[in-house]
Amino acid sequence: MSANTPRLSAPRLRAGAWYGYVLLVALFLMTPLFTLVIASFYDGRFLSIVDYAFTLHWYEVAFASTSIQSAFLNTAKIAVPVTLLSTVIGTGGAVAYTRHEFPFREQFKLLALLPIFFPLLLLGLGMSLWANVTNLGYGILPSVIGELVWISPIVMFVVSITALGVDPDIEEAARDLGADTVTLYKDVVLPLIADGIVSGAIFAFVLAWNNYYIVSYLSGAQSTITTWIHAKMTQGFTPTVPAVSSLIFYSSVLLVVVVALFEYNKSEGDEHS
């Protein structure tokens, strides 16, 4: 690079340094994930990047294992309802907060967004005690309700950001043009905040898919992907662990990239219009 640009000016060098630093931080954040991917394809006992031997064996083992299959299935049984419900619940909260005036509005925001700032350990512990006291029990359903508490506020946050960008007079205009309440929300408000809802739903799915603390306290005898990984990490490592971990990493990357492209296209579109 520097060889191709004979006169490397000081400002360019400084700009390069900023890029370099951010790249370094990004690499730091990605290192463990890259390590997992490297380990997942490695054929051998000790992980060495010098005499690396490639294999798909651990993925085959992972796909063939019934305990891993059932862990994936349980994770899906939790993540899919959590995605659907948290999107509805979070969007409801966002529309109420951003498009309406009502008493105790700020207090409502405080309560509704507070779970985002809670350490998940604390949420998990409290829910575990609560499930015991109320006879809610442990399993798929309690895990779904538990994850909703953390994820619905995040959806509300994401949708609120979009909803606040919509013209505040739009409801009144729609009313003046004769829209009734159902039409107002179905044909005016929801389409305008649809982008935020889709982003929120995808985030909800990824977070539910990756959640460990809450399910570890509420899933009881049911094993999910994250609790399976944790159990294998602390007792009895097998080389399938990196493969399974990589699998959930791939799915997260895919979905986050989809959201990013979606948001990026939208902002590009805004600039052109």
Partner 1 sequence: MSTKHRLKSHFDRAAGYTRDSSNPLFALVRPPWLFMAPIVALLLFMFVGPMLAIVVFSLQSGNTIDPNPLHWTLAHYAEIVTGMATGTGVYGQVLGNTALVSAATVLATLVVSYPAAYALARKIKRYKVVFLLLLIIPLFTSVNVRVFGWALFLVENGVLHSIFNLVGIGQYPSLLYNRYTVLFGTTYVYLPFMLFPIYLSLLTIDDVTFEAARDLGAGPLTIFRKIVFPLSMPGVVIGSLFVFVLSLGADVEAQILGGGSVFTMASNINYSFGYSQNWPLGSAQAVGLLLITIVAGVVILRSLDLREIASRGESR
The stretch near partner 1 (CB under 8 A) out of 2-10, 14-22, 60-68, 76-84 is: 14-22
Q: What is the DSSP letter of 45?
A: S
Q: Which contacts (CB < 8 Å, 24+ apart) does range 161-166 have?
A: 161/196, 162/193, 162/195, 162/196, 162/197, 162/199, 163/94, 163/95, 163/98, 163/99, 163/192, 163/193, 163/196, 164/98, 166/99, 166/192, 166/193
Task: Please pick, from the candidates 74, 211, 222, 240, the single residue that binds partner 1 as defined by CB under 8 A.
Answer: 211
Residue in the block written with tokens 């609560």: 130
Nearest in space to 244 (alpha carbons), one of 13, 75, 6, 31: 75
Residue 136 near residue 142 (C-beta atoms within 8 A) = yes
The stretch near partner 1 (CB under 8 A) out of 1-9, 28-36, 57-65, 76-84 is: 28-36
Nearer to partner 1, 63 or 108 (CB): 108
Task: Please pick, from the candidates 41, 59, 80, 126, the single residue that binds partner 1 as defined by CB under 8 A.
Answer: 126
Span 129-148, contacts to partner 1 by CB under 8 A: 129-130, 133-134, 145-146, 148
Nearest in space to 172 (alpha carbons), one of 188, 160, 159: 188
Is residue 111 a contact residue for partner 1 (CB under 8 A)? yes
The stretch near partner 1 (CB under 8 A) out of 2-10, 63-71, 76-84, 90-98 is: 90-98
Span 146-205, contacts to partner 1 by CB under 8 A: 146, 148-149, 152-153, 156-157, 160-162, 164-165, 175, 180-182, 185, 203
d(CA 5, CA 248) in angstroms, rounded, equals 42
Task: Please pick, from the candidates 56, 73, 194, 264, the single residue that binds partner 1 as defined by CB under 8 A.
Answer: 264
Task: Please pick, from the candidates 57, 70, 80, 92, the single residue that binds partner 1 as defined by CB under 8 A.
Answer: 92
Task: Please pick, from the candidates 74, 83, 98, 240, the single residue that binds partner 1 as defined by CB under 8 A.
Answer: 98
Number of Cα atoms under 13 Å in the Cβ half of residue 148: 18
Task: Please pick, from the candidates 8, 186, 260, 262, the single residue that binds partner 1 as defined by CB under 8 A.
Answer: 260
Nearer to partner 1, 47 or 64 (CB): 47
Task: Please pick, from the candidates 8, 13, 15, 190, the single residue that binds partner 1 as defined by CB under 8 A.
Answer: 15
Residue 58 near residue 240 (C-beta atoms within 8 A) = yes
d(CA 263, CA 183) in angstroms, rounded, equals 27
Residue 24 near residue 10 (C-beta atoms within 8 A) = no
Task: Please pick, from the candidates 66, 102, 135, 269, the single residue that binds partner 1 as defined by CB under 8 A.
Answer: 102
Residues touching partner 1, count (CB under 8 A): 101
